[in-house]
């Protein structure tokens, strides 16, 4: 692997230089350039079938296939993405975000970790896999599917999958967009939370009114919004929506034991949580459990009335709440949406009008069946590559794993090697290069191990 490392870093730097910010229409051309860069790299590596899917409406995605020597070998589809987050506030970057900079073991740049680095890791893994075999055909039929809209909530992923059913057919999806728990605690991710977002709009009058004129005599939408938010949790930190916990699958004792065995440093957790000053959350669960296996309701924003300097003594006409729920298996975003609408209706006082609007694209939760043989294989190759015991972890974020599972109809497992403190979505994103090299080694080993385990 070390022999390939220099080229790997040089290639990744070239790719990072293309600012493929999918959320910004001004950069949509760059998303296309990024797709073609990847396609060219795959062709250089010898992938026999490489395609750029760029006929819209999805931003360009890349598909590649490298058939196994054995036609009966299983087919594995590696999923990743090549679009990146915006870079604002750009002045907080210590190095230009699109001029990847190496400092010791770290490579700084937008997309270094999320997700160009992990996709590049898989290109490297295939080279290493073939080199180890001394052949030009992998042990499994490898397919690569790298979309360009993940950071925008994968709005056209369903359509892409349905338009390319034959190409994407496989026996297993390997999802490569999650981190391990820590450098000294490599883990196999076994699930992501889902998300359902909504905006609640509470309207009183048709205009703000002077609080000297009417204050104390008419309902205040800001106060009503506050009461609604306050009612959303009970005093044990549990969400009060009807049947919110009815479908929650609790983690197994083995998973809880694994989580408890992971090193946990409160100060580091807080520092990585935007400099938060204390831990809190649902009673009866550890911090890792609260973030990985428990659902939440978070206020992402609340806005009403005057926010400028000094005082403006008004009763505001309107209040808006941005709310998102992180969901765990087997919660259903549609059921949560219905419960929220009922909750808002119950908590809207006379004289105010309430509307619940969907916000964002949402995603169902997903958890891996840890009894699937691929999971055991993953643990083996991780222990070999990282030379440490490997435990289970999850991630509190959301992604399209459930969608891939439902639509392609096969199990999804996670293979990621980045770190939670890579500052993805933030200034100074970086990747620790040895993590990617070890991840590539694990993947290279996995492709040898899967035939006979997965069919």
| Cβ-defined contacts of 282-289 (< 8 Å, 24+) | 282/236, 282/237, 282/238, 283/236, 283/237, 283/238, 284/236, 286/259, 286/260, 288/259, 288/262, 288/264, 288/393, 289/251, 289/256, 289/259
296 vs 325: CA distance, rounded Å: 5
**Residue 349 contacts a copy of itself per CB under 8 A:** yes
Tokens 């020597």 belong to: 69
In whole angstroms, the minimum distance from the beta carbon of 308 to a copy of itself comes to 8
Of the candidates 102, 83, 85, the one whose C-alpha atom is nearest the C-alpha of residue 94 is 102
SS3 label, residue 15: helix
**Residue 256 contacts a copy of itself per CB under 8 A:** no
Q: Which of 13, 33, 36, 233 binds a copy of itself (CB under 8 A)?
A: 233
- Closer CB to a copy of itself, 47 or 269, in the complex: 269
**Residue 193 contacts a copy of itself per CB under 8 A:** yes
**Residue 26 contacts a copy of itself per CB under 8 A:** no
**Residue 296 contacts a copy of itself per CB under 8 A:** yes
For residue 158, what is the enclosing H or E element?
Answer: helix 157-163
Joined tokens for residue 437: 């090299």
Footprint on residues 324-343 left by a copy of itself (CB under 8 A) = 324, 326
What are phi and psi for residue 404, nearest 5 degrees?
A: -60, -45
* Per-residue binding letters, 116-155, with a copy of itself (x by CB under 8 A): -------------------------------------x--
In whole angstroms, the minimum distance from the beta carbon of 420 to a copy of itself comes to 7
> How many chain residues touch a copy of itself (CB under 8 A)?
88
Q: Which of 101, 211, 406, 428 binds a copy of itself (CB under 8 A)?
A: 211
- Closer CB to a copy of itself, 53 or 285, in the complex: 285
337 vs 356: CA distance, rounded Å: 9
DSSP secondary structure letters along 85-139: ----SGGG-SS-TTS-EEETTEEESTTTTTTHHHHHHHHHHHHHHHHHHTSSS-S
**Residue 304 contacts a copy of itself per CB under 8 A:** yes
298 vs 110: CA distance, rounded Å: 27
For residue 290, what is the enclosing H or E element?
Answer: helix 287-292
In whole angstroms, the minimum distance from the beta carbon of 108 to a copy of itself comes to 18
- Closer CB to a copy of itself, 86 or 376, in the complex: 86
Q: Which of 9, 337, 359, 403 binds a copy of itself (CB under 8 A)?
A: 359
Helices 433-449, 373-386: axis angle to 10 degrees equals 140
In 73-180, beta strands by DSSP E:
75-81, 101-103, 106-108, 141-147, 172-175
- Closer CB to a copy of itself, 397 or 451, in the complex: 397
Measured CA to CA in angstroms, residue 150 lies from 132, 281, 332, 348 at distances of 33, 29, 21, 36
In whole angstroms, the minimum distance from the beta carbon of 353 to a copy of itself comes to 7
**Residue 197 contacts a copy of itself per CB under 8 A:** yes
Q: Which stretch binds a copy of itself (CB under 8 A): 213-221, 242-250, 407-415, 435-443?
A: 213-221
Q: Which of 67, 96, 305, 451 binds a copy of itself (CB under 8 A)?
A: 305
In whole angstroms, the minimum distance from the beta carbon of 113 to a copy of itself comes to 13
**Residue 249 contacts a copy of itself per CB under 8 A:** no
Footprint on residues 389-428 left by a copy of itself (CB under 8 A) = 395-398, 420, 425-426
**Residue 3 contacts a copy of itself per CB under 8 A:** no
């Amino acid at each position: 692997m070390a022999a390939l490392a220099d080229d790997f870093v040089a290639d990744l730097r070239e790719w990072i230089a293309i600012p493929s910010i999918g959320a910004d229409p001004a950069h949509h051309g760059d998303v296309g350039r990024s797709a073609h860069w990847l396609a060219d790299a795959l062709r250089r590596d010898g992938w026999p079938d490489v395609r750029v899917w760029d006929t819209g409406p999805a931003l360009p995605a890349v598909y590649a296939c490298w058939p196994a020597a054995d036609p009966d070998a299983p087919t594995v589809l590696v999923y990743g993405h090549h679009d990146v987050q915006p870079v604002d506030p750009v002045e907080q970057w210590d190095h230009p975000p699109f001029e990847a900079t190496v400092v010791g073991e770290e490579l700084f740049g937008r997309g270094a970790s999320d997700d160009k680095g992990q996709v590049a890791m898989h290109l490297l893994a295939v080279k290493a896999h073939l080199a180890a075999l001394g052949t030009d055909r992998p042990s499994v039929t490898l397919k690569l599917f790298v979309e360009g809209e993940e950071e925008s909530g994968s709005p056209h992923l369903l359509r892409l999958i349905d338009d390319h059913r034959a190409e994407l057919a496989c026996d297993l999806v390997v999802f490569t967009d999650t981190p391990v728990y820590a450098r000294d605690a490599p883990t196999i991710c076994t699930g992501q939370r889902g998300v359902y977002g909504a905006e609640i709009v509470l309207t009183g009058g048709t205009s703000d009114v002077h609080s000297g004129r009417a204050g104390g005599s008419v309902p205040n939408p800001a106060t009503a919004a506050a009461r609604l938010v306050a009612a959303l949790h009970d005093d044990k930190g549990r969400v009060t929506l009807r049947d919110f916990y009815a479908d929650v699958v609790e983690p197994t004792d083995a998973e809880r034991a694994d989580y408890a065995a992971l090193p946990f440093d409160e100060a580091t957790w807080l520092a990585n949580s935007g400099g938060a000053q204390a831990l809190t959350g649902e009673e009866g669960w550890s911090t890792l459990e609260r973030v990985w296996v428990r659902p939440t309701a978070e206020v992402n924003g609340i806005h009403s009335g005057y926010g400028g300097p000094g005082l403006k003594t008004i009763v505001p006409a309107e209040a808006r709440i941005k709310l998102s729920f992180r969901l765990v298996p087997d919660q259903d975003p549609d059921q949560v949406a219905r419960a929220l609408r009922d909750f808002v209706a119950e908590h809207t006082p006379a004289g105010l009008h309430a509307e619940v609007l969907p916000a964002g694209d949402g995603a169902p939760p997903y958890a891996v069946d840890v009894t699937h043989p691929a999971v055991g294989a993953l643990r083996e190759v991780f222990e070999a590559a990282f030379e440490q015991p490997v435990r289970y972890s999850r991630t509190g974020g959301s992604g399209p794993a459930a969608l891939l599972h439902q639509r392609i109809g096969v199990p999804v497992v996670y293979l990621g090697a980045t770190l939670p403190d890579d500052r993805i979505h933030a200034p100074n994103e970086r990747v620790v290069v040895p993590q990617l090299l070890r991840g590539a080694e694990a993947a290279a080993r996995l492709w040898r191990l899967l035939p006979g385990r997965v069919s």
